[in-house]
Amino acid sequence: MAGQAYDCKAAVRFLRANAAKYNLDPDHFGVGGDSSGGHLAAFVGTSGDVMEREGDLSNTNVSSRVQAVVDWFGPTDLAVMGRQAGPHSMIQHDGPNAPEALLPGGPVQTKLELAKTANPLTYVDKNDPAFLIMHGDNDQLVPLGQSVILAKALIDAGVEVTMKTIPGAGHEGPQFHNAENQRLLEEFLSRKHKVDK
């Protein structure tokens, strides 16, 4: 697994360890991102406290768990991206120059075991935080199927999931930022981070 995930987990641990100093609530952390950032957010969400995926950067005695994840069109299972891609895909996902080939250090189909360690899907279990997943049905970079299989795995595990497919949207685009979707995002985060009195 690449160092960027360890960096993210170290950042969560740092903030939790220093919550009092920065006036943060250590029991209400969320992460989010789009595309590769969505991949990292989902990875942090599903692999919270998976010791072999924590890395050894600072505050290793503090939990990296989060309580909410927002994943916009992030990769979730590198091995099946090529099969899920449509005829107009802008990436040859199983090729040596695919962005996802950088994670295992070569074409994904030749590094399946290593690629599996980078998949958020690998670590899904019933203790995962709630997820809000959004994906355009015209995404030619990360197939919609990547979000579909993650949502299904989370639901099957008993995790709270809101999955929204955005008709006509590609990889990013103004549809993600309209009033309806911004309200959905704000309501999700507000609900997951509401402090019980």
- 126-155 pLDDT, tens digit each: 999 999 999 999 999 999 999 999 999 999
Residue 165 dihedral angles phi and psi, to the nearest 5°: -95, 130
Cα–Cα dist 96/99, whole Å: 9
* Residues in CB range of 170: below 8 A, 6 or more apart: 136, 138, 139, 140, 141
The amino acid present at 5, given as its one-letter code, is A
179-189 pLDDT, tens digit per residue, is 999 999 999 99
Evaluate whether 176 touches 72 at the Cβ level (below 8 Å): yes
Q: Domains of the chain (ranges plus CATH)?
A: 3-192 (3.40.50.1820)
Contact 123, 47 (CB under 8 A): yes
CA distances from 76 to 24, 123, 171, 189, 196 (A): 29, 11, 15, 21, 32
Strand partners, 136: 166
Q: Give pLDDT, residue 56.
A: 81
Q: Are the beta carbons of 100 and 108 closer than 8 angstroms?
A: yes
Check residue 65 and give its pLDDT: 95
Mean pLDDT of 7-34: 95
Cα torsion angle, 127, 130, 136, 137, sign: positive
CB atoms inside a 10 Å sphere around CB 14: 16
Give the 3-state secondary structure of residue 72. strand
Q: Calculate the average pLDDT of the chain.
A: 93
Is pTM beyond 0.85 here?
Answer: yes
Of the chain, the percentage scoring pLDDT greater than 90 comes to 84
